[in-house]
A and B are shown apart, each in its own frame.
Chain A
Amino acid sequence: DVKVTQSSRYLVKRTGEKVFLECVQDMDHENMFWYRQDPGLGLRLIYFSYDVKMKEKGDIPEGYSVSREKKERFSLILESASTSQTSMYLCASSVGQGADWGYTFGSGTRLTVV
């Protein structure tokens, strides 16, 4: 089975801290994504990446950045955490084509900024 592993299930950080959320996938997928999930809003795309060192902005990139130095790892960075960034963060990966096409999600990181 494809596995997408997010390093933390729960995080509590202080306002103004720099926060790193890590995501690792083990199936050599080209594409990786970061979403945030909020009640009533569904999943909103923050950033995505098609290849190493490549990144593209999603629909809500403000206040976030990403890093993809290796194919299997995609990091989400909150440069200066704010209470409005309290949310569930979901990482996903996908292969670009074929019968297995579609997202595989990690279990999520619930971030609370106080």
Chain B
Amino acid sequence: AQSVTQLGSHVSVSEGALVLLRCNYSSSVPPYLFWYVQYPNQGLQLLLKYTTGATLVKGINGFEAEFKKSETSFHLTKPSAHMSDAAEYFCAVSDQGNFNKFYFGSGTKLNVKP
């Protein structure tokens, strides 16, 4: 089974600062990769995904992520944090044998300070 590691269960940034949320996966075969966001008391919403092609992927709300095969990483970034970005973020990867089955990381809660 795949495993997904999100470094840092809590990340705190100031409004306007760079957001960097880290995600590493374990796979010898490049999987499909996803970032989801969860606002309080809601389900998860897709931010962006990488399947094939360009390794720098742009998503909603100004977020982007870069797939780095050599580092088995898919870190999420945003140049300037907004208060509305405060939420929990989950990285997910597809199963090698079944691309419809996803494995999720344990999540990173982003706090944005005014």
**Chain A residues within 8 Å of B, Cβ to Cβ:** 4, 9, 31, 35, 40-45, 48, 50, 58-59, 90, 92, 94, 96, 101-108
Chain A to chain B contacts (Cβ below 8 Å), 9 pairs: A40-B9, A45-B103, A59-B1, A92-B44, A103-B36, A104-B46, A105-B36, A106-B43, A107-B42
Q: Are B100 and A94 in touch, CB under 8 angstroms?
A: yes
Q: Are A42 and B44 in touch, CB under 8 angstroms?
A: no
Q: Are B104 and A42 in touch, CB under 8 angstroms?
A: yes
How many contacts A-B (CB < 8 Å)? 55
Q: A45-B101, A102-B34, A102-B49 are in contact. Are A40 and B106 (CB under 8 A)?
A: yes
A contact residues around B43 at 8 Å (CB): 4, 90, 92, 105-108
Q: Are A105 and B44 in touch, CB under 8 angstroms?
A: yes
**Chain B residues within 8 Å of A, Cβ to Cβ:** 1, 4, 6, 9, 34, 36, 41-46, 49, 51, 90, 92, 100-107
Q: A90-B44, A106-B43 are in contact. Are A42 and B105 (CB under 8 A)?
A: yes
Q: How far is the CB of B108 from chain A (nearest CB, A)?
A: 10
Whole-angstrom CA separation of A50 from B106 in the bound complex: 25
Whole-angstrom CA separation of A45 from B107 in the bound complex: 15
Q: A59-B1, A101-B51, A102-B49 are in contact. Are A43 and B42 (CB under 8 A)?
A: no
Whole-angstrom CA separation of A51 from B51 in the bound complex: 24
Whole-angstrom CA separation of A108 from B85 in the bound complex: 20
Q: How far is the CB of B32 from chain A (nearest CB, A)?
A: 8
